[in-house]
Structure 1
Amino acid sequence: MSAPIPALVLAGSRPGPDPLLDGSGVSTKALLPIAGDAMLVHVVGALAASPLVGTITILAQNSARLAAEPALANLPGDIIFQDSGQGISSSLAAALPPGDDPVLVTTADHVLLTPSMIAEFLTGAADSDVAVAMVEREVLLARYPQSQRTWLKFRGGWWSGANMFRLNGRRALPLLDFWGRIERDRKKGLKIIAAFGPWLLLGALLRLFTIQQGIARAGLRFGLKAKVVPMSEGEACIDADKPVDIILIEQIFAARRAS
């Protein structure tokens, strides 16, 4: 069995007001309560429960505010709090382990994360420099037809991100630098694809290749072996972005408790 992989949890706040926080009494999204606990507690709890995960580093502009959350102190494992920058890419670049050691990256609003999802992703990502967890639309809609996601259309399916990434340490720095220039368009699928070049955009528009082939080609631009890891659980791509997401997430937690 390989050594546990360190995890980075992106728990910062984006610029501007967050409608999720209106009337909540909390000042940052990571501490918004869902199903009885702060979002961040659910995510760190899932990571700490996975035997595949080692040290957990929580990145936020004001990490001391998150470190004061009492429920986090009750979780097992080695949890570190680190102040981050304003952007996702620059914060990740500063927190990467030395050399090419792999790291797992997820987000504080990935509240439905489970150890089984972590295991499925890391197993599928093992032979890559960069791996991205994604869910195909039919997998999600088969169980949650009311869920609304941002979809990328490729040959063989429509895909949505599942907020898990595996990066081979500092080999990923060129990709993170590139992402820093386009992350403001992260919810605009075609703009993201177009940023990798006209041939990738044309191939996506004409559905000339699968998303696995598209990600592999995008990785080659940076000399990286990149891959998509398809997730078998639709819940993997349901994060807490909008009030309607929280309603669905609360329902899923209730169903988990009932079972």
Structure 2
Amino acid sequence: MEENTAPFAALVLAGTRPGGDPLAHELGVPHKGLIEFGGEASLARVVAALRQAGAARIAVSCDEAGPIARLALDLGAETLPAARGPSGSALAALAAMGAPMLVTTSDHALLRPEWVRQCLRDTPGDADLGVMLAERAVIERAVPGSQRTFLKFADGQWSGCNLFFLRTDRAKEAMLLWNRLEQDRKQPWRMAFRIGIGMLLRYLTGGLSMANAIERVGKRIGIEARLVSAEDGLAAVDVDKMRDVELVRSLVESA
């Protein structure tokens, strides 16, 4: 497989939902990216990992008047105004920075440079988009008993890793589809139509693998999209609930 060695930009999604994030409120901070692990804010850990992985440009999509923007600038990153929803922010960043661009999130506190490098390396040279996910057995080997959300496919049960490699500008089509799915989230029939009824039926009958699903969705929107299967199950651990905070803090403290 051809290795991706070209300089790349990195985007950290750090938008704030209306009313703020419940977990951040519970912990007394204005944003999840400011939750501390080992005495360091989550956003700082993410930016450091991206820099170590070789990102030539790092941008944080956020409220440019908020504390997360001030931290981003202190870390030497740039800021971009958050759009409506993560897909909108990714689209805006792709227009501003261009491909290749890696996308992750500010609550990915365990992010390691080797995961970023794997995402770049294992996205084939003829692909427009690489999507990193971790299979359940890999996650449970890394963090036994961890409670994740899994999607069951013919080739296993998968959980997202919040790592997407937009290798070419054509990956914009995937961000546009993501944006439409966000808009249709209260109308499942429209979501199914956008993804493809035939593929949905194949999934329901247990005949669809995750790798094939990503490729088929890509072809439906005119791009080449590929699954990147995470080598380290920790890549699927982000911070959504208090139990995640406790898990990540224990892992950081024991490292």
Normalised by the length of structure 1, the TM-score is 0.87
- The one-letter amino acid paired with 2:133 is M
| Contact 1:43–1:111 (8 Å) recurs in 2 | yes
1:252 counterpart = 2:255: no
Name the counterpart of 2:68: 66
Name the counterpart of 2:32: 29
Which deviates the most, 138-147 or 189-198? 189-198
SS at match of 1:248: helix
How does 1:172-191 map onto structure 2 within 5 Å? 172-183=171-182
Shift of 1:91: 1.4
Name the counterpart of 1:20: 23
- The one-letter amino acid paired with 1:113 is L
- The one-letter amino acid paired with 1:208 is G
Number of matched pairs = 249
* Whole-Å separation in 2 of the counterparts to 1:54 and 1:207: 42
SS at match of 2:29: coil
Give the alignment partner of residue 107 of structure 2, picking from 109, 115, 121: 109
How does 1:97-136 map onto structure 2 within 5 Å? 97=95, 101-127=99-125, 128-136=127-135
Structure 1 unmatched ranges of 5 or more:
none
Which deviates the most, 131-140 or 168-177? 168-177
SS at match of 1:120: helix
Shift of 1:240: 0.3
Shift of 1:23: 4.6
Shift of 1:106: 0.5
Give the alignment partner of residue 56 of structure 1, picking from 40, 58, 63: 58
* Whole-Å separation in 2 of the counterparts to 1:48 and 1:57: 11
Name the counterpart of 1:90: 88
* Whole-Å separation in 2 of the counterparts to 1:100 and 1:29: 27
Structure 1 runs, 4 residues or longer, greater than 3 Å off:
97-100, 189-195
* Whole-Å separation in 2 of the counterparts to 1:168 and 1:123: 11
* Whole-Å separation in 2 of the counterparts to 1:247 and 1:134: 22
Structure 1 pair 217–49 and aligned structure 2 pair: CA distance change class (3 A): same
Normalised by the length of structure 2, the TM-score is 0.88
Name the counterpart of 1:223: 222
Shift of 1:178: 1.9
* Whole-Å separation in 2 of the counterparts to 1:190 and 1:155: 23
SS at match of 2:18: coil
* Whole-Å separation in 2 of the counterparts to 1:190 and 1:7: 34
SS at match of 2:146: coil
| Contact 2:63–2:69 (8 Å) recurs in 1 | no
* Whole-Å separation in 2 of the counterparts to 1:192 and 1:143: 33
State the identity %: 37
Name the counterpart of 2:155: 156
* Whole-Å separation in 1 of the counterparts to 2:132 and 2:160: 6
* Whole-Å separation in 1 of the counterparts to 2:21 and 2:30: 9
Shift of 1:62: 3.0
Shift of 1:133: 0.3
| Contact 2:12–2:61 (8 Å) recurs in 1 | yes
* Whole-Å separation in 2 of the counterparts to 1:8 and 1:222: 23
1:8 counterpart = 2:6: no
* Whole-Å separation in 2 of the counterparts to 1:191 and 1:32: 36
* Whole-Å separation in 2 of the counterparts to 1:115 and 1:168: 18
SS at match of 2:249: helix
